[in-house]
A and B are shown apart, each in its own frame.
Chain A
Amino acid sequence: MSRAVIQVSLFVAILSGCFLTAYFARRRRTDPSPDGGYAAIGERGLTWSEAKAAAIRWTTTTNHREIGLLYIAFGTVAAIWGGTDAMMIRTHLLTPEANIWTEQTYNELFTMHGLTMLIFFVAPVFFGIGNYFLPLLIGADDMAFPRLNAVGFWMLPPALLLSRLGILAEVTGKSLALVVPEGWLTILYVLREPALGWTLYTPLSTTMPDPQINFLLLGLHLSGIATTIAAINFITTIVYERTSEIGWANLDIFSWNMLVTSALVIFAFPLLGTALLMLLFDRNFGTTFFATEGGGPVLWQHLFWFWGHPEVYIIFLPAAGLMSLILPKFVGRKLFGFKFIVYSTIAIGVLSFGVWAHHMFATGIDPRIRASFMATSIAIAVPSAIKVFNWITTIWNGNVKLAAPTILCVGGIGMHIYGGITGVFLAVIPVDIIYHDTYYVVGHFHLIVMGIIPLMMFAASYYWYPLLTGRLYDRRLALFQSTLLVTGSALTFVTLMALGFLEHPRRYATYPAEFQNLHVVATVGAYIIGLSVMLWLYNMLWSYFHGEPVETADPWDLKSTNQFTREWQWFEEKLERERGIPPSEPEEVRRSYVPAQEEAPPSLYGRIVPVARTVVSDAGAGAIGGFVGTMFMTGVLFVAVAIGAFDLEAFADLAALVGLPATVGLGYAVFLVGGMTVWPLLFLALGEYLPGELSFVTGLWYSTVIASGFAIAFHTDQLGLELVAYLLFVLLSHWTYGLGLAGTIEYFGSRHPSPPEDQP
Chain B
Amino acid sequence: MSSDESDDTAEDPPVEGEPTESGESFALTYVAPFLGVLLIAVGIPLAILGGYVVVQDTLNLCGDPSIDVRALGDEERPSAAVGELEYGELSQAEQRALEQAIGSPLEEATVEGEMENRDVLLEGAVVEVDGERYYVRIASLNSCLRAEPLLFPIGMVGILLGIVGVLTPPIYRKMAGFEERIQQR
Q: Is A330 an interface residue (CB 8 A)?
A: yes
Q: Do B34 and A99 touch (CB < 8 A)?
A: no
B11 cross-chain contacts in A, Cβ below 8 A = 401-403, 475-476, 479
Closest 7 CB pairs of A and B: A527-B41, A99-B145, A403-B10, A102-B140, A401-B10, A97-B143, A99-B143
Q: Do A527 and B44 touch (CB < 8 A)?
A: yes
- Contact A524 to B41, CB < 8 A, known contacts A95-B145, A403-B11: yes
Contact mask for chain A residues 14-37; partner B; CB cutoff 8 A; 1 contact, 0 none: 000000000000000000000000
Q: Do B40 and A531 touch (CB < 8 A)?
A: yes
Residues 1-60 of B at the A interface (beta carbon under 8 Å): 1, 3, 8-12, 29-30, 33-34, 37-38, 40-42, 44-45, 48-49, 52, 55-56
Q: Is B107 an interface residue (CB 8 A)?
A: yes
* Nearest A residue (CB) for B142: A102
Which of B10, B48, B106, B143 is the most central at the interface, judged by chain A CB atoms within 10 Å of its CB?
B10
Residues 385-420 of A at the B interface (beta carbon under 8 Å): 399, 401-403, 406
* Nearest A residue (CB) for B33: A480
**Least Cβ–Cβ distance between A18 and chain B, in angstroms:** 18
Q: Is B144 an interface residue (CB 8 A)?
A: yes
Interface size class of A (residues with CB under 8 A): 35 or more
B107 cross-chain contacts in A, Cβ below 8 A = 209
**Least Cβ–Cβ distance between B166 and chain A, in angstroms:** 8
Q: Is B161 an interface residue (CB 8 A)?
A: no
B1 cross-chain contacts in A, Cβ below 8 A = 402
* Nearest A residue (CB) for B169: A476
A528 cross-chain contacts in B, Cβ below 8 A = 37-38, 41
- Contact A520 to B45, CB < 8 A, known contacts A95-B145, A209-B107, A475-B11: yes
Q: Do A402 and B40 touch (CB < 8 A)?
A: no
State which of A1, A484, A524 has its C-beta within 8 Å of the C-beta of B45.
A524
State which of B9, B56, B144, B145 has its C-beta within 8 Å of the C-beta of A401.
B9
Known: A401-B9, A527-B44. 15 other contacts (CB 8 A): A1-B61, A94-B45, A94-B49, A99-B144, A100-B145, A102-B140, A104-B108, A190-B106, A406-B10, A483-B34, A520-B45, A525-B41, A527-B45, A531-B40, A535-B166
B61 cross-chain contacts in A, Cβ below 8 A = 1
B143 cross-chain contacts in A, Cβ below 8 A = 97-99
* Nearest A residue (CB) for B138: A103
- Contact A557 to B10, CB < 8 A, known contacts A99-B62, A104-B140, A528-B37: yes
Q: CA–CA, A476 to B55, complex, Å? A: 40
Q: Do B55 and A94 touch (CB < 8 A)?
A: no
Q: Do A211 and B105 touch (CB < 8 A)?
A: yes
Q: Do B45 and A523 touch (CB < 8 A)?
A: yes
Q: Do A102 and B106 touch (CB < 8 A)?
A: no
- Contact A401 to B8, CB < 8 A, known contacts A99-B144, A480-B33, A531-B41: yes
**Least Cβ–Cβ distance between A418 and chain B, in angstroms:** 22
Interface size class of B (residues with CB under 8 A): 35 or more
Q: Is A65 an interface residue (CB 8 A)?
A: no
B62 cross-chain contacts in A, Cβ below 8 A = 99
Q: Do B106 and A209 touch (CB < 8 A)?
A: yes
Contact mask for chain B residues 89-109; partner A; CB cutoff 8 A; 1 contact, 0 none: 000000000000000011110
**Least Cβ–Cβ distance between A138 and chain B, in angstroms:** 26
A525 cross-chain contacts in B, Cβ below 8 A = 41
**Least Cβ–Cβ distance between B33 and chain A, in angstroms:** 6
Q: CA–CA, A33 to B33, complex, Å? A: 27
Q: Is A556 an interface residue (CB 8 A)?
A: yes
Contact mask for chain B residues 141-177; partner A; CB cutoff 8 A; 1 contact, 0 none: 1111101000000000000000000100100000000
Q: Do B41 and A192 touch (CB < 8 A)?
A: no
Q: CA–CA, A384 to B133, complex, Å? A: 55
Q: Is A663 an interface residue (CB 8 A)?
A: no
Q: Do A532 and B142 touch (CB < 8 A)?
A: no
At the interface, is chain A mostly helix, strand, loop or mixed? Answer: helix
State which of B44, B52, B141 has its C-beta within 8 Å of the C-beta of A100.
B52
**Least Cβ–Cβ distance between A526 and chain B, in angstroms:** 8
B12 cross-chain contacts in A, Cβ below 8 A = 475-476
Q: Do A402 and B105 touch (CB < 8 A)?
A: no
A531 cross-chain contacts in B, Cβ below 8 A = 37, 40-41
Q: Is B120 an interface residue (CB 8 A)?
A: no
Q: Do B9 and A402 touch (CB < 8 A)?
A: yes
B8 cross-chain contacts in A, Cβ below 8 A = 399, 401
Q: CA–CA, A209 to B107, complex, Å? A: 8
B144 cross-chain contacts in A, Cβ below 8 A = 99
A98 cross-chain contacts in B, Cβ below 8 A = 140-141, 143
A716 cross-chain contacts in B, Cβ below 8 A = none
B55 cross-chain contacts in A, Cβ below 8 A = 1
B108 cross-chain contacts in A, Cβ below 8 A = 104
Q: Is A210 an interface residue (CB 8 A)?
A: yes
Q: CA–CA, A739 to B147, complex, Å? A: 70
A556 cross-chain contacts in B, Cβ below 8 A = 10
* Nearest A residue (CB) for B30: A480
A104 cross-chain contacts in B, Cβ below 8 A = 108, 139-140
Q: CA–CA, A556 to B75, complex, Å? A: 73
Q: Do B34 and A480 touch (CB < 8 A)?
A: yes
Residues 147-179 of A at the B interface (beta carbon under 8 Å): none
* Nearest B residue (CB) for A1: B61
**Least Cβ–Cβ distance between A24 and chain B, in angstroms:** 14
Contact mask for chain A residues 510-550; partner B; CB cutoff 8 A; 1 contact, 0 none: 00000000001001110110011001000000000000000
**Least Cβ–Cβ distance between B58 and chain A, in angstroms:** 12
B10 cross-chain contacts in A, Cβ below 8 A = 330, 401-403, 406, 555-557
State which of B41, B45, B66 has its C-beta within 8 Å of the C-beta of A102.
B66
Residues 88-145 of A at the B interface (beta carbon under 8 Å): 91, 94-95, 97-100, 102-104
A475 cross-chain contacts in B, Cβ below 8 A = 11-12
* Nearest B residue (CB) for A189: B106
Q: Do A192 and B106 touch (CB < 8 A)?
A: yes
Q: CA–CA, A403 to B8, complex, Å? A: 11
State which of A1, A520, A527, A555 has its C-beta within 8 Å of the C-beta of B40.
A527
Q: CA–CA, A528 to B38, complex, Å? A: 7
**Least Cβ–Cβ distance between A119 and chain B, in angstroms:** 25
**Least Cβ–Cβ distance between A517 and chain B, in angstroms:** 12
B49 cross-chain contacts in A, Cβ below 8 A = 94-95
Q: CA–CA, A646 to B137, complex, Å? A: 61
**Least Cβ–Cβ distance between A299 and chain B, in angstroms:** 22
A-B contact pairs, 8 of them (CB 8 A): A1-B61, A94-B48, A99-B142, A399-B8, A477-B169, A480-B29, A531-B37, A531-B41
State which of A103, A555, A557 has its C-beta within 8 Å of the C-beta of B139.
A103
Contact mask for chain A residues 187-198; partner B; CB cutoff 8 A; 1 contact, 0 none: 000101000000
Q: CA–CA, A100 to B29, complex, Å? A: 37
Q: Do A402 and B37 touch (CB < 8 A)?
A: no
State which of A190, A210, A476, A555 has its C-beta within 8 Å of the C-beta of B29.
A476
Q: CA–CA, A271 to B10, complex, Å? A: 46
A210 cross-chain contacts in B, Cβ below 8 A = 106
Contact mask for chain A residues 701-738; partner B; CB cutoff 8 A; 1 contact, 0 none: 00000000000000000000000000000000000000
A94 cross-chain contacts in B, Cβ below 8 A = 45, 48-49
* Nearest A residue (CB) for B66: A102
**Least Cβ–Cβ distance between B13 and chain A, in angstroms:** 10
A192 cross-chain contacts in B, Cβ below 8 A = 106
B34 cross-chain contacts in A, Cβ below 8 A = 480, 483-484
Q: CA–CA, A556 to B30, complex, Å? A: 23
A520 cross-chain contacts in B, Cβ below 8 A = 45
Q: CA–CA, A556 to B8, complex, Å? A: 11
Q: CA–CA, A99 to B56, complex, Å? A: 10
Q: Do B140 and A103 touch (CB < 8 A)?
A: yes
A406 cross-chain contacts in B, Cβ below 8 A = 10
**Least Cβ–Cβ distance between A380 and chain B, in angstroms:** 35
